[in-house]
């Protein structure tokens, strides 16, 4: 996870912050497993959107 956060921080600090908050909430929440699955699904959908229409993601083609 730390390597992934480092890579995200090098690319975009906002994405690193969002990922850090998601990991924190997954660890401290009572429903951490369900929250982790939700975040995983959202990241998979975001990856599909990036493949189909990369212009929708700000800074992706920069």
**For position 1, what pLDDT does the model report?**
65
**For position 17, what pLDDT does the model report?**
85
User: What gap in Å lies between CA 49 and CA 52, rounded to an integer?
Assistant: 5
Helical pair 13-28 and 2-11, crossing angle rounded to 10 deg:
150
Phi, psi angles (nearest 5°) of residue 26: -65, -35
| pTM greater than the 0.85 cutoff | no
pLDDT tens digits for range 17-61? 888 888 898 889 888 889 889 988 988 998 898 888 877 776 666
- Report residue 62's pLDDT band, with 50, 70 and 90 as the boundaries: low
User: What gap in Å lies between CA 61 and CA 54, rounded to an integer?
Assistant: 7
User: What gap in Å lies between CA 50 and CA 22, rounded to an integer?
Assistant: 20
User: What gap in Å lies between CA 39 and CA 25, rounded to an integer?
Assistant: 10
């Amino acid at each position: 996870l730390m390597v992934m956060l480092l890579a995200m921080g090098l690319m975009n600090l906002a994405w690193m912050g969002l990922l850090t908050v998601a990991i924190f909430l997954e660890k401290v929440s009572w429903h951490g497993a369900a929250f982790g699955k939700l975040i995983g699904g959202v990241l998979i959908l975001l990856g599909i959107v990036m493949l189909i229409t990369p212009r929708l993601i700000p800074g992706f083609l920069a």
